[in-house]
């Protein structure tokens, strides 16, 4: 059947039984594909019926369907003409794991980060109102994303503008891990009152039957009715904010969904539809282990075993182990995550020190300021956050952490290219965003051993520190029990080279060493510096290097604009060091999904690329001379 669905318009002719059959087929497709490609299987399996019901009831793409994050939208991709491309999900040159406006007219909104759908959808509704249109706007937001401040800022304005739009709360009580916080608890309470809508209708019709006699009596009776409503009915936050609330409705019951969405469609005011779904629905391993199956890599369908090579421990694991080790002897150390406990590997820390671990939900802005508060009161908070999600907390880092010079450690995970998640998730802007902030020190080690040393040293610094580390496994170094100490602010001048010195930040130092060896075999004299610090930049070592080499090339897996190389250029220009300095990093463009190695080769940041850059440069210089 799936092959016959050219567009969602086809769904409008299907019977309920046919839709149910299609749902099963879509599930099979999602399972089979993600078993090979990896991807967000759990959320997507949970939203299959919801997707079919939405496209059936609404006249998409004229009606606007806005998905929060977009990771749950694989069924949406499949019914909007992307069956043939689905095998290439998240692959280089294939379709994105999220939604892309250029991929389909049905993808009216792009995301990857959580909490943006309500604001985006409200913008579309407001534009419609200004333009005099009639089209519906529907936003689908998860209970996890509903813990983000942005979602509440939007609810606030939706309730104020009172324009027609539907907010579907896709509530599976999971973020990546089980959802936490008072909002999550509130949704659970709302869920366990399934008779709410009926009870409300009963109370309303009962009150309606009360006769109103005389003006003053009428007012008194109205007040009494309000009081009865208040006492009898549980409070509903959506209604209190100005929404009409429908639900909770079983998100796997197609007729119920179609019915409730059909009703919502007729209302010309804000509507909240509370839909209960199950993450991983229809694939037992994903139902049983929703956290592991949020976004696994390739897996074996029959056993549900996620395929993993024998890789060295990840940088995240080493960072989390180090924090745990440091926390044993330092009671002031606390760890914070914004819904990424598993990804940042802080789950063990949470087990050992449950009182000193905080999962604040998908709320990076809050996490940063919360950390500032902890630090202001004498604690040593470590906020472990992916580079890409840290972007959301920029002002909080500037205004709350750094302006007050508070000793918060930002453990910046996934710094660099991230692979299959693509453009919205690349960790390649944080240096540019953080570098201008006074007080903040920024460091990145060349391997997992230096990561440990930097984290340990960061916890002794008087002010805020950002320690970056990449996605994926470390080099598999044997790590001593004792964390080696490291001179703060000092670069490591690894090898001397007369003609050119590669000044590298992060694991690309090892690539630089390989390139230097290859270049030496070609007759060039090439040095290598492991910079370690972006801020403070080790100007002393760089000045010394500049007196022993004829040129410098900086290397980083980060945007060139404002990155580490820029810091070196600023130093070189302001001190007039007198030798040419060039920078090599990532270009000023968004980088889609695909293996980091592919892009490193494309942008000449792999060994051969560096060799090519250096030989071209030095040969051109020789010809000029």
In angstroms, what is the minimal distance from the CB of 277 to ligand TPP? 7
Q: Let me know if 364 is a catalytic residue.
A: yes
Check residue 276 for interaction with ligand TPP (CB under 6 A).
Answer: no
The answer for 181, left when phi > 0, alpha when psi is -120 to 50, beta otherwise, is left
CB nearer to ligand TPP: pick between 80 and 277 = 277
- Of the pair 144, 470, the CB lying nearest ligand TPP is at 144
x/- track of binding to ligand TPP for residues 347-376 (CB under 6 A): ---------------x-x------------
SS3 (DSSP) at 276? strand
Instruction: Round to whole Å and give the CA distance between 187 and 164.
Output: 23
The minimum distance between CB 421 and ligand TPP, in angstroms, equals: 9
Q: Should residue 77 be labelled a site residue for ligand TPP when binding is judged by CB under 6 A? A: no
Number of other residues whose CB lies within 10 A of the CB of residue 575: 12
Q: Is residue 599 a contact residue for ligand TPP (CB under 6 A)? A: no
Q: Does 143 interact with ligand TPP (rule: CB under 6 A)?
A: yes
CB 116 within 8 A of CB 142: no
Compare residues 187 and 437 and give the one whose CB is closer to ligand TPP: 187
138, 151, 169, 339: which one binds ligand TPP (CB under 6 A): 339
Dmax over Cα atoms in the chain, in whole Å? 104
Closest CA to 128 of 61, 65, 64: 64
**Residue in 364, 441, 556, 560 annotated catalytic:** 364
Query: CA-to-CA distance for 558 and 434, rounded, in angstroms?
Result: 13
- The alpha carbon torsion through 24, 30, 36, 40 (nearest 10 deg) reads -140
Q: Site map for ligand TPP, 251-270, x if CB under 6 A?
A: --------------------
CA–CA separation, 549 and 555 (whole Å): 16
Q: How many residues in the shown chain lie near ligand TPP by CB under 6 A? A: 24
Dihedral of CA 75/78/83/85: which sign? negative
Q: Name residues whose C-beta falls within 8 Å of residue 190's C-beta, 6 or more positions apart in sequence.
A: 196, 234, 236, 247, 248, 274
In 3D space, the residue among 590, 388, 409 whose CA is nearest the CA of residue 471 turns out to be 388
Q: Of the two residues 105 and 178, which places its CB atom closer to ligand TPP in the complex?
A: 178
Give the nearer residue to ligand TPP in terms of CB position, either 363 or 502: 363
Determine how β-strand 581-586 pairs with β-strand 465-468: unpaired
CA–CA separation, 432 vs 553, rounded Å? 18
Residue 504: enclosing H or E segment and its boundaries?
strand 500-504
Q: Exactly one of 140, 174, 272, 515 binds ligand TPP (CB under 6 A); which one?
A: 174
Measure CA 259 to chain center.
Answer: 33
Asked if 345 touches ligand TPP (CB under 6 A), the answer is: no
| Sole window of 141-149, 206-214, 252-260, 427-435 interacting with ligand TPP (rule: CB under 6 A) | 141-149
* Near ligand TPP by CB under 6 A: residue from 51, 172, 184, 541: 172
**Alpha-carbon gap, residue 625 to 304, rounded angstroms:** 64
64 is catalytic: no
CB of 146 to ligand TPP, least distance (A): 7
* Catalytic one of 77, 82, 90, 279: 279
Q: Which is nearer to ligand TPP, 140 or 398 (CB)?
A: 140
Q: Convert 291-324 to b/e letters by CB count within 10 Å (16 or more is b).
A: bbbbbbeebeeeebebeeeeeebbbbbbbbbbbb
**What is the spatial distance between Cα 520 and Cα 541, in angstroms, rounded to a whole number?**
23
By CB under 6 A, tell whether 609 contacts ligand TPP. Answer: no
How is residue 9 written in tokens? 């318009």
Told to check if 144 binds ligand TPP by CB under 6 A, we report: yes
- Annotated active-site residue in 56, 90, 281, 392: 392
User: How many Cβ atoms are within 10 Å of 287's Cβ, its own excluded?
Assistant: 17
- Answer yes or no: are the C-beta atoms of 501 and 524 closer than 8 Å: no
Active site residue 492: no
Give the residue, chosen from 37, 72, 369, 541, that forms a contact with ligand TPP under the rule CB under 6 A: 72
Residue 44 Cβ vs ligand TPP, minimum distance, rounded to whole Å: 8
Minimum CB separation from ligand TPP for residue 177, in Å?
8
By CB under 6 A, name the one of 113, 380, 435, 452 that touches ligand TPP.
113
Structure tokens at 290: 């929703």
Q: Please state the closest distance from residue 240 (CB atom) to ligand TPP, in A.
A: 22
- Can the peptide bond before residue 248 be classed as cis, meaning omega within 30 degrees of 0? yes
Phi, psi of 526 (to 5 degrees): -125, 130
Q: Which of these ranges, 99-107, 111-119, 245-253, 407-415, lies near ligand TPP under the rule CB under 6 A? A: 111-119
Assess 71 for contact with ligand TPP (CB under 6 A): yes
Cβ of residue 171: shortest distance to ligand TPP, in angstroms? 8
Residue 293 and residue 42 in contact, taking contact as beta carbons nearer than 8 Å: yes
Catalytic site residues? Answer: 279, 364, 392
Contacts with ligand TPP, residue ranges (CB under 6 A)? 43, 46, 69, 71-72, 113-115, 142-145, 170, 172, 174-176, 279, 338-339, 362, 364, 389, 392
């Amino acid at each position: 059947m799936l092959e016959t669905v050219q567009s969602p318009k086809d769904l409008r002719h299907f019977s309920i039984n046919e839709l149910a059959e299609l749902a099963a087929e879509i599930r099979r497709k999602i399972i089979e594909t993600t078993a090979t490609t990896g991807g967000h299987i759990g959320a997507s399996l949970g939203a299959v019926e919801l997707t079919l019901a939405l496209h059936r009831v609404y006249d998409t793409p004229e009606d606007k369907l806005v998905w929060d994050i977009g990771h749950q939208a694989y069924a949406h991709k499949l019914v909007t003409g992307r069956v043939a491309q689905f095998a290439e999900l998240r692959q280089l040159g294939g379709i994105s794991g999220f939604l892309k406006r250029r991929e389909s007219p049905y993808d009216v909104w792009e995301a990857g980060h959580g909490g943006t759908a309500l604001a985006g959808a409200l913008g579309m509704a407001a534009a419609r109102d200004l333009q005099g249109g009639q089209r519906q706007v529907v936003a689908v937001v998860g209970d996890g994303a509903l813990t983000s401040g942005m979602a509440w800022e939007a609810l606030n304005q939706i309730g104020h503008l009172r324009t027609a739009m539907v907010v579907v709360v896709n509530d599976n009580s999971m973020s990546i891990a089980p959802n936490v916080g008072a909002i999550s608890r509130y949704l659970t309470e709302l869920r366990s009152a399934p008779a709410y809508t009926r009870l409300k209708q009963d109370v309303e019709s009962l009150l309606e039957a009360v006769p109103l006699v005389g003006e003053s009596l009428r007012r008194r009776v109205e007040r009494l009715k309000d009081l009865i409503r208040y006492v009898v009915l549980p409070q509903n936050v959506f209604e209190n904010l100005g929404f009409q609330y429908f639900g909770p409705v079983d998100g796997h019951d197609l007729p119920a969904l179609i019915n409730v969405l059909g009703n919502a469609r007729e209302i010309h005011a804000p509507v909240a539809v509370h839909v209960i779904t199950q993450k991983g629905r229809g694939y037992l391993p994903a139902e049983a282990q929703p956290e592991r199956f949020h976004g696994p890599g390739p897996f074996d369908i029959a056993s549900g075993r996620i395929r993993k090579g024998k890789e060295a421990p990840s940088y995240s694991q080493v960072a989390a182990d180090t924090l745990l080790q440091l926390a044993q002897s330092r009671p002031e150390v606390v760890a914070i995550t914004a819904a990424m406990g598993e990804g940042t590997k802080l789950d063990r820390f949470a087990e050992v020190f449950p009182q000193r671990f905080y999962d604040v939900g998908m709320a990076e802005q809050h996490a940063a300021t919360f950390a500032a508060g902890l630090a202001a009161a004498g604690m040593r908070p470590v906020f472990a956050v992916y580079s890409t999600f840290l972007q959301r907390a920029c002002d909080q880092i500037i205004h709350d952490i750094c302006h007050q010079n508070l000793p918060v450690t930002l453990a910046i995970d996934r710094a660099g290219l991230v692979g299959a998640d693509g453009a919205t998730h690349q960790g390649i802007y944080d240096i540019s965003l953080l570098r201008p902030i006074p007080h903040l020190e920024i460091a990145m080690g060349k391997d997992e051993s230096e990561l440990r040393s930097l984290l340990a040293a960061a916890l002794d610094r008087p002010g805020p520190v950002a320690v970056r580390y990449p996605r994926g496994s470390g080099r598999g170094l044997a790590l001593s029990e004792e964390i080696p100490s490291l001179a703060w602010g000092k670069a490591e001048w690894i090898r001397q080279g007369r003609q050119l010195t590669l000044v590298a930040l992060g694991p690309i130092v090892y690539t630089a060493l390989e390139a230097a060896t290859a270049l030496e075999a070609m007759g060039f004299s090439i040095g290598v510096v492991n910079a370690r610090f972006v801020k403070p930049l080790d100007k002393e070592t760089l000045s010394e290097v500049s007196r022993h080499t004829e040129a410098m090339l900086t290397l980083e897996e980060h945007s060139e604009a404002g990155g580490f190389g820029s810091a070196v250029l600023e130093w070189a220009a302001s001190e007039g060091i007198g030798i040419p300095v060039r920078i090599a990093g990532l270009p000023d463009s968004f980088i889609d999904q695909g293996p980091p190695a592919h892009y490193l080769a494309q942008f000449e940041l792999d060994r051969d690329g560096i060799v090519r850059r250096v030989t071209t440069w030095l040969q051109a210089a020789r010809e000029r001379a």
